[in-house]
């Protein structure tokens, strides 16, 4: 007889279920979904929409962490991307800024592409630092985390860039097929990541690099290329996330946008069961992790709990999930199963 292990994803799912159950009992019409203005409307839909920026980031972060790395620069890259986007909307000219914002119809394509290309280059910079220069991922991305935010502020000249741009606003606020467009973008990133890692050997190589980089090298895996890829993908995702956010708030505040978002992204990955030491990953788990964080935040808001408590409650939930997930805990559970098997006589 085979001993069975509880899959890692079971716990985060359980936690998400608990939070939803809590809302089912104590929050009125939390699960109500209506149609309004031709699209779906309700708390759940709101959660999907609000979770999108973190979700996009966290999915890419999953691959970075799977290689045994980390990317703490994503918040800053997001700010740079958002700043560039609003600059482009403004035609690069911030001189006539008014507090009310103004209308300037920059072509949609440039508003999207220029920030994304910049973000990809920033990701490539991280990748080169880690794979070719050989810096510790934490240190390498710390450089961009600090310098990046400064750069974003330089770009916007320290001002908050507000704008109106009907086309671009759709990115963060629009609905398609009745669903929030940012959420569809996040789905797109998940599909893209999954396609690359499943249709090519990239997924295998990412895990191999995370599991044992020198053995991967010995086996001929182009470990540098793999590392370069995950950081580029992370940069791209952070950039896209920046577009969503900037579009949603119709403005870029270089000093504050995306601040500490890298922490949420990393948390979501870890809650989702991807081990920090790399070698394995679970994108599905990451999605659940993001949903847990966002549902929790929304719950706290709708319950009228002072926002100061958000962080505290978040911290408690995270700690609980992580403890349950920890190897020690799994070992204890596993052992109990083992004992039962011996007693049952099926072990022999």
Partner 1 sequence: MGGKLLEVHNVYKVFPGVTALADVDFALERGEIHGLMGENGAGKSTLIKVITGVYQKDAGTIVLDGQEIHPTSPLHAEALGISTVYQEVNLLTNLSVAENLAIGRQPTGTVGIDWKTMNRRAAGILEKFDIDIDVTELLGNYSIAIQQMVAIARALELDSKLLILDEPTSSLNADEVEKLFKQMRRLKEQGHAIIFVTHFLDQVFEITDRITVLRNGKYVGEYATPSMTKLDLVSKLMGKSLDDLKNFDSISNHVETGDDANLIDVKGMEKTNYMNPFDLKVRKGDIVGLAGLLGSGRTEITNLLFGTQKPEGGELHIKGKRVNLNSPRKAIAHHLALSPEDRKQEGIISGLSVRENIVLALQVKKGWLHNISIRKQTELAEKYIGMLSIKTSGVNQPIETLSGGNQQKVILARWLATNPELLIVDEPTRGIDVGAKMEIQRLLVELSKQGMGIVFVSSEIEEVVRCSNRVYILQNRNIVGELLGEEISEQEIMVRIAAKGDRKV
279 forms part of the interface with partner 1 (CB under 8 A) = yes
- State the nearest-atom distance from the C-beta of 332 to partner 1, in Å: 9
Strand partners, 34: 41
Name which position in 199, 306, 308, 327 contacts partner 1 (CB under 8 A).
199
Binding segment toward partner 1, per CB under 8 A, in 14-22, 187-195, 215-223, 258-266: 215-223
328 forms part of the interface with partner 1 (CB under 8 A) = no
Read off the tokens for 228: 């370069």
- State the nearest-atom distance from the C-beta of 117 to partner 1, in Å: 23
220 forms part of the interface with partner 1 (CB under 8 A) = yes
Query: What is the signed CA dihedral for 104, 110, 112, 114, rounded to 10 degrees?
Result: -120
Strands (DSSP E) found in 225-339: 251-252
Name which position in 31, 113, 311, 335 contacts partner 1 (CB under 8 A).
335
195 forms part of the interface with partner 1 (CB under 8 A) = no
Distance CA 48, CA 34 (A): 15
Q: Which of helix, strand or coil describes residue 103?
A: strand
4 forms part of the interface with partner 1 (CB under 8 A) = yes
Query: What is the signed CA dihedral for 38, 188, 291, 301, rounded to 10 degrees?
Result: -50
- State the nearest-atom distance from the C-beta of 171 to partner 1, in Å: 32
Query: What is the signed CA dihedral for 52, 81, 88, 114, rounded to 10 degrees?
Result: -100
Binding segment toward partner 1, per CB under 8 A, in 33-41, 173-181, 261-269, 273-281: 273-281
Read off the tokens for 105: 């119809």
Distance CA 89, CA 56 (A): 23
Question: Which positions touch partner 1 (CB under 8 A)?
Answer: 2-5, 198-202, 204, 207-208, 210-212, 214-222, 278-280, 334-335, 338-339, 341-342, 347-348
């Amino acid at each position: 007889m085979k001993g069975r292990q509880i899959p890692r994803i079971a716990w985060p799912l359980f936690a998400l279920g608990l939070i939803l159950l809590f809302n089912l009992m104590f929050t009125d019409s939390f699960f109500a979904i209506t149609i309004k203005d031709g699209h779906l409307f309700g708390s759940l839909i709101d959660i999907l929409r609000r979770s999108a920026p973190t979700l996009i980031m966290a999915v890419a972060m999953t691959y970075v962490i799977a290689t045994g790395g980390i990317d703490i620069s994503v918040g800053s890259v997001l700010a740079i991307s958002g700043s560039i986007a609003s600059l482009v909307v403004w035609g690069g000219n911030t001189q006539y800024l008014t507090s009310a914002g103004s209308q300037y119809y920059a072509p949609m394509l440039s508003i999207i592409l220029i920030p994304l290309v910049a973000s990809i280059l920033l990701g490539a910079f991280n990748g080169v630092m880690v794979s070719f220069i050989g810096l510790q991922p934490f240190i390498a991305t710390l450089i961009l985390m600090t310098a990046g935010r400064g750069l974003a502020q330089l770009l916007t000249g320290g001002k908050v860039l507000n704008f109106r741009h009907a086309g671009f606003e759709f990115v963060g606020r629009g609905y398609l097929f009745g669903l929030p467009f940012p959420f569809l973008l996040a789905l797109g990133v998940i599909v893209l990541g999954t396609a690359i890692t499943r249709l090519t050997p990239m997924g295998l190589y990412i895990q191999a690099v995370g599991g044992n980089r020198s053995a991967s090298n010995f086996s001929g895996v182009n470990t540098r290329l793999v590392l370069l890829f995950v950081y580029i993908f992370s940069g791209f995702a952070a950039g896209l996330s920046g577009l969503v956010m900037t579009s949603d708030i119709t403005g870029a505040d270089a000093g504050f946008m995306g601040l500490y978002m890298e922490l949420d992204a990393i948390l979501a990955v870890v809650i989702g069961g991807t081990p920090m030491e790399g070698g394995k990953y679970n994108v599905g788990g990451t999605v659940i992790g993001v949903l847990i964080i966002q549902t929790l935040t929304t719950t706290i808001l709708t319950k009228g709990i002072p926002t100061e408590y958000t962080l505290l409650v978040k911290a408690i939930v995270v700690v609980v999930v992580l403890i349950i997930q920890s190897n020690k805990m799994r070992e204890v559970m596993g052992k109990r199963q083992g004992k039962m098997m011996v007693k049952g006589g099926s072990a022999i």
